[in-house]
Structure 1
Amino acid sequence: MLLGVAVVAILGAGAWYWTSRKADGAESAYRTTTVERGDIRVAISATGTLSAISTVTVGSQISGQVTDVLVDYNSEVKKGEVLARIDPSTYEAQIEQGNAQIANAQASLKQAQATLANAELDYTRKADLGTQKLVAQSDVDLARAARDQARAQVNAAQASIRQQTASTQTTRVNLDRTVIRSPVDGVVLTRSIEPGQTVAASLQAPELFTIAEDLSKMKIELAVDEADIGQVKVGQAVSFTVDAFADRQFRGEVQQVRLSATTTSNVVTYPVVVSVDNSDGTLLPGLTVNAEIEVSKRDDILKISNAALRYKPTGEEANATAAAQAPQGGQNRGSGVSDDLVRVAGTLQLKPEQQSAFDAALAALRERQAARAAQAQQRGGASMFGGPGGGPRSGGNSSSGGGAMQAQIRQRMAERMQQDFAPFRATLDEQQRQRWDGELRTLLGAKRAPVYKLVNGKPDMVQVRVGASDGTSTEVSGAVKEGDVVVVGERAKE
């Protein structure tokens, strides 16, 4: 009796060992990873240059010799502060000459006024005598002409005074311009003159100083590639480094996406302006910046290694997997789109009548999916929406024709969804409707890809919806959950 029990125990242990070895051998044939929950940050890299938000070039509107330069590089200046002086002697002499001309014009005016007074008296006397026929009419006419001429002389003298005054005022303005003042509060970045240097402003104003208005706030002008510019929006966070402070990371924010594209060696880039807080004065104008624009950040989502999305079974495993994925008994594997719709509806806080309308539309959708799967089984292949859950297939070899076909499939799916769920949508309020429309657009526009879960030592294909990717991991949703083991490759057979 004891011998029989021992034999049975030995046989059982052997069977368990053999089964375990077989399962371990099957699992060890694949390289795997697990579906994890975590965060994904998607960023665009670009380079640019730091500069002041406002940089003012100070020039000279007049010519002359520089007598004094009162500021130097890095000098902090206030608005109206004197920066330099140009020799004013020429303009002072012109003012003296102008004053003399004004005095001469004023003397001419008094003389003309006296002549006018005499001419008016003479005309008045002769006009009275003319009415009495005591003088000839020609004498009256001559007296009138002399009076008018005297009035014109007075007007000419007055105009001469105004002209000389205006000319002198112009000279005074130029005299004031011999003192170069700062137009803003800021810091002197460059100085282009030295005392004794002659400034010539005949054709254009020479540049004397460059002043950065406020270095506590700076900007970066990044050159972003045309392939990435569509993802950049105002308000996105930017992190950047500069070689001068390699151990520090700085922050900024996208302020403007400019439309003025630049083409260099057939590469098109767009300028993106980033605002930077430089309250501590660490950053300097002109530094080269290596920046990353955070275009998307997904927190607490399911993600898998990108290698899992690239894996495709080979050889006998490919045939076995294809046979296992064939529709069975009219059943569509996975839930895909319909489950996603249930998830979206769950966020809308539906009322009972709204929930009833949704359930009716969802039942019609699932019934059509089941019918399509049955037709695919009869044809011995997959339906047009043969991916699990009714989503278009993705992965594998793609071409421009395949991409166009998938776009057409998505378009037809969108139209059909809108028709099927139109009665349900009509029951929603404005806020719910906007939420539903946005989620539906995201759902239908999302890409789908096959992932191979390891089930009982064998790869089992499921379709997942893929989202943001940081180049290493990709956001997924659908027929996977946290902790699922997925295949990323096959081990070499010994």
Structure 2
Amino acid sequence: MSSPHPEAAPENLPATLPAPSRRRRWIGSLVALLVVLGLGGGAWWLIKRSGEPVGGRPNFGGASSTVGHAAARRMDMPILIDALGTVTPLTTITLRPQVGGVLTEVLYTEGQTVSKGQLLARIDPRPYEQALMQAQGNRVRDEAQLEAARVTLSRYRTLLTQDSIARQDVDTQAALVKQLEGTVTTDRAAEAAAKLNLDYTRVTAPVTGRIGLRTVDPGNTVTANATTGIAVITQMNPIDVQFAVPQDRVPDIQAQLAKGEPLPVKALDRVRSAVLDTGTFSTLDNVVDTSTGTVRAKARFANAGTPLFPNQFVNVQMVLRTVNAIVVPVTAVRIGPNGTFVYVVNEDRTVSVRPVKRGEATVDVVAITEGLKAGEDVVTEGGDRLKDGARVQLQGDKPAAAPRPGASGPRGPRTPGSPGGEGRRQRPAPQ
């Protein structure tokens, strides 16, 4: 049965939803636009700030960049040629036995310094002594036959003058004498060869030098001209160092050699901290290595005390010549669109870009031929943050005191009655 009254709507819900106000929509759009503009402005500021080099804008009266500096000075700068060299001995000899036999004695100590002609080893000489005796016996026999043939020839010549013998017999005897003379000559050569082989059983040092490790022990049989040999002798004093120089430096080296002036050369250790020995330039090779564009060269060292060892790698430093010039540290010279320049520190602690022309250079300093005077300060560190006219602070300068927050300037002396002064008027106490 239907109710006579229509069903009532809930009390907490309106019968119809009101339409949003036009004013509220306009305000929301305005707020959203302001937010977008704020975000865009912040992004633009960050991009602009990141695109500027640190301290790249001239700071006139603002914060200054701390830089390293050095004064340009005039000095005698040596022009050096640095290279990597290899120690090369003048003579390296492998002791190979000239005759075969049993090695009976080894008379040297491994690593010993031996002198020229010093006896180092012996090979069993008995077979060669017997061969020498046999050669001597053959020579004596043939010499006796030769002497008898010469006496017979003299008699035949006497009988020929008396017409008591045929000339043919005389000629035959003369030929026999010549034959025996040749036999005696051969016997003397065989005897000398036997003596030489006997001498080869004594192995001596052909040069003065340092002997290496032995490869054959006593009691072993050695053969003539063996590949390995008995030991190796290397001449240590003097000794050479071979290195390479750039082909562009060859005319300068030849010009100095033409003057007859020796070119000093230093041999440095692996880390270039100590000088091993000092020598003089010796010679240049006769061709340029096309793969590297360099020419091989040699320098000779006395090597007293043997600081240089054969096949050792050393750093070579050769003084080509000495020039008097204004020099600055290598880090002070920079390259820009207009060429090389330096930052010159002015008296008011600002920097100026100064174009310069560089000359010869070493590892530490470079010569300035134009654009700089002795005594001027140049920036050596921190130049990447500078521009022309930028204010700088030198290393070692006392930094300026920063103002306290909220202070507008230095305070003068307080006067009585001024705010915060000692004579500030006190309020009377209440009665």
SS at match of 1:106: helix
- Structure with the larger helix share: 1
Is the contact between residue 222 and residue 273 of structure 1 (CA under 8 Å) also seen in structure 2? yes
Q: Which residue of 231, 235, 259 corresponds with 1:209?
A: 231
Shift in Å at residue 168 of structure 1?
1.0
Is the contact between residue 30 and residue 491 of structure 1 (CA under 8 Å) also seen in structure 2? no
Q: Give me the TM-score of the superposition, normalised by structure 2.
A: 0.60
Q: 2:185 maps to what in 1?
A: 162
Change (3 A) 1:69 1:306: same
Q: Give, in whole Å, the separation in 2 of the partners of 1:481 and 1:114.
A: 104
SS at match of 1:191: coil
Q: 1:272 maps to what in 2?
A: 297
Shift in Å at residue 60 of structure 1?
3.0
Aligned pair count reads 320
Q: What do the CA deviations read for 1:179-224 (whole angstroms, capped 9, x no partner)?
A: 111223333134343323333336x886433323443x43322234
Letter in 2 for 1:63: G
Change (3 A) 1:227 1:207: farther
Shift in Å at residue 71 of structure 1?
0.9
Q: 1:371 maps to what in 2?
A: none
- After TM superposition, the structure 1 = structure 2 runs for residues 413-424 of structure 1, keeping only pairs within 5 Å, are none
Letter in 2 for 1:183: P
Q: Give, in whole Å, the separation in 1 of the partners of 2:62 and 2:376.
A: 17
Letter in 1 for 2:233: I
Q: 1:150 maps to what in 2?
A: 173
Q: Which residue of 122, 132, 135 corresponds with 1:95?
A: 132
Change (3 A) 1:46 1:308: closer
Q: Which residue of 25, 49, 56 corresponds with 2:86?
A: 49
Change (3 A) 1:452 1:249: closer
Shift in Å at residue 105 of structure 1?
1.5
Shift in Å at residue 58 of structure 1?
3.6
Shift in Å at residue 145 of structure 1?
0.9
Q: Which residue of 269, 281, 290 corresponds with 1:242?
A: 269
Change (3 A) 1:125 1:471: closer
Q: 2:223 maps to what in 1?
A: 200
Q: Does 1:76 align with 2:117?
A: no
Q: Give, in whole Å, the separation in 2 of the partners of 1:146 and 1:70.
A: 61
SS at match of 1:170: helix
Change (3 A) 1:190 1:119: same
Change (3 A) 1:86 1:163: same
Change (3 A) 1:82 1:100: same
What is the percentage of aligned positions where both structures have the same residue? 23
Q: 1:175 maps to what in 2?
A: 198
Is the contact between residue 132 and residue 191 of structure 2 (CA under 8 Å) also seen in structure 1? yes
Letter in 1 for 2:242: E
Q: 1:61 maps to what in 2?
A: 98
Shift in Å at residue 82 of structure 1?
0.8
Q: Give, in whole Å, the separation in 1 of the partners of 2:200 and 2:96.
A: 10
Shift in Å at residue 37 of structure 1?
0.8
Q: Give me the TM-score of the superposition, normalised by structure 1.
A: 0.54
Q: Give, in whole Å, the separation in 2 of the partners of 1:107 and 1:249.
A: 71
Q: Which residue of 112, 123, 141 corresponds with 2:160?
A: 123
Change (3 A) 1:483 1:114: closer
Q: Which residue of 346, 358, 374 corresponds with 1:482?
A: 374
Q: Give, in whole Å, the separation in 2 of the partners of 1:302 and 1:164.
A: 80
Shift in Å at residue 101 of structure 1?
1.6
Q: 1:256 maps to what in 2?
A: 282
SS at match of 2:230: strand
Is the contact between residue 78 and residue 185 of structure 1 (CA under 8 Å) also seen in structure 2? yes
Unpaired stretches in structure 2, ≥5 consecutive residues: 1-57, 391-431
Unpaired stretches in structure 1, ≥5 consecutive residues: 1-21, 128-139, 313-394, 397-448
Change (3 A) 1:486 1:125: closer
Shift in Å at residue 284 of structure 1?
3.1
Q: Give, in whole Å, the separation in 1 of the partners of 2:178 and 2:325.
A: 89
Letter in 1 for 2:187: Q
Q: 2:408 maps to what in 1?
A: none
Q: Give, in whole Å, the separation in 2 of the partners of 1:125 and 1:229.
A: 87
Is the contact between residue 267 and residue 275 of structure 2 (CA under 8 Å) also seen in structure 1? yes
Is the contact between residue 277 and residue 307 of structure 2 (CA under 8 Å) also seen in structure 1? no
Q: Give, in whole Å, the separation in 1 of the partners of 2:292 and 2:311.
A: 24
Is the contact between residue 464 and residue 478 of structure 1 (CA under 8 Å) also seen in structure 2? yes
* Structure number, greater radius of gyration: 2
Letter in 2 for 1:37: R
Once structures 1 and 2 are overlaid, which stretch shifts more, 29-38 or 70-79?
Answer: 29-38
